[in-house]
Amino acid sequence: MGFGMSFNVSAAGKTNFIAAGSVEKPVPGEEAAGDGMRQTLNLNFSPENREKIRKALDDYAKSVDQDHDRIEERRRAMQESLKERFLDADNDNDGTIDRQEATEKLPQIARLFSQVDTNQDGVISLEELQDAQSRAAERRSAAEATIEAQKLQATDASIAAKSKSKQASNNSKKRTY
């Protein structure tokens, strides 16, 4: 089952119309393809649609913060904070965090240890932690885009229903004359 989605992105006096194609609801019992599709809020976006959404959001961000100064400043601060927390948790200073260190200093990471430890070597490197943070940010962005798309779809449906109702009302008035 699928539906098409399109939306306008407006900022700084500029408006861009984005048609993101179709969004498909997963079929029960069917596994979502790991890297090609990410299941978020029970919807799968194709890689092409995710790229269109990402581009629309980038265009919007550029129109609000043309040099991306605020975004880059925030990204650097987040990376520095992550590195500081990682180094603080690395009690034996070996450049990695084992389950015990994660449990003691980074309980949120300890709960997801197997997912963050992508090479399954029993320890988490700073790179693995940064990759996990990036994946989480992508999932969050996709979820936000999905919610926005659903709101826009509901608005479009409401407008279409009102238009259809008005048209039916006008047709019934014409018949009574």
Long-range contacts of range 152-157, CB-CB < 8 Å, 24 or more positions apart? 152/5, 152/6, 152/7, 153/3, 153/5
Report which residue type is found at 15: T
Q: Which residues contact 88 (CB under 8 A, 6 or more apart)?
A: 105
Name the residue with higher pLDDT: 12 or 101: 101
CATH hierarchy code of domain 69-146: 1.10.238.10
Q: How confident is the model at residue 173, as a pLDDT?
A: 67
Name the residue with higher pLDDT: 90 or 57: 90
pTM for the structure as a whole: 0.46
Q: How confident is the model at residue 28, as a pLDDT?
A: 44
Q: How confident is the model at residue 103, as a pLDDT?
A: 93
**Average of pLDDT values for 51-68?**
77
Rounded CA separation 168/140 (Å): 42
Q: 3-class SS at 14?
A: strand
What Cα–Cα distance (Å) separates residue 109 from each residue in 6, 40, 125?
37, 21, 12
**Any idea where the domains of the chain sit in the sequence?**
1-28+35-66, 69-146
Residues 114-155 pLDDT 10s: 999 999 999 999 999 988 888 888 888 888 888 888 888 888
Residues 73-104 pLDDT 10s: 888 898 898 899 999 999 999 999 999 999 99
